[in-house]
Amino acid sequence: MASAILAALYAGDRAEAYRLARAIPLLDVFEAAALGDADALAERLEEDPTAVDAIAPDGFTPLHLSAYFGGLSAARYLIAHGATIDALSQNAMSVTPLHSAVSAHQATIVSLLLANGANPNVPQRGGIVPLHQAAHNGDDDSIEALLVAGANRDVRSDDGRLPIDYASPDKRALYEPLLRF
C-alpha cells in the first residue's frame, strides 16, 4: 500500500503531499524520490545504498517515481548512484522509468534517462514503446528525444498500431514526416 504522501501525489494533490511530508520526521526512499527531494534521498541511500533499486509496494523503483512525478534532481541523484536505468516495474504494467517519464510528459527526464542509456525501444504491456506513448500524449519534445536516441518508428504495438497511429488527429499531420518510415 502506498504511503499517504504517495497517495496524495497519485491523486494529483502536490500541496497535500508536501504538507504531509513536513509533518513527518523522515521521508522514505520512495517518498523522497517522488517528491524530488535529493537531500532526503541522499540520507536514505547513505543508510542503505541498496535502496537505490528498492521496490515500492506499488511495484515501482525510486527512479520510476522520480521520473513520473518530475523529480529531476532526485532522478539525477539516483542515476549517479547506480539506479538501474531500465528497471522493469514489478506490477502488471511492466514499465521502465522511461515509460514513466513519457507517460507523465516529463520531457526533461526523458532526455536525462536517454542520455544515460535508457532503451528507447523497450515495450511495456501491450507492446507499447515510449514512442507510442509520446505520440499519444502529443509530447513533441519527448518524441524528438526518443527519435534522436534511436527509437524505432515502425514498431507495432500488440494490436498492430504504429506510433503515428497513436497521435491525435490534430497532431498526425505534424508527426507524419517524423513518424512514418
Residue-wise pLDDT for 136-174, tens only, equals 999 999 999 999 999 999 999 999 999 999 999 988 888
Confidence of residue 2 (pLDDT cuts 50, 70, 90): confident
| DSSP summary character for residue 53 | G
The answer to pTM > 0.85 is: yes
In the chain, % of residues over pLDDT 90? 91
Q: What angle do CA 163, 10, 104 make, to 5 degrees?
A: 25
Decide if pLDDT at 181 tops 80. Answer: no
Across the range 55-74, mean pLDDT stands at: 97
Question: What whole-number distance in Å separates Cα of residue 168 and Cα of residue 34?
Answer: 29
Across the range 69-81, mean pLDDT stands at: 97
Decide if pLDDT at 178 tops 80. Answer: no
Closest CA to 50 of 78, 73, 70, 91: 78
Q: Write down the pLDDT at residue 25.
A: 86
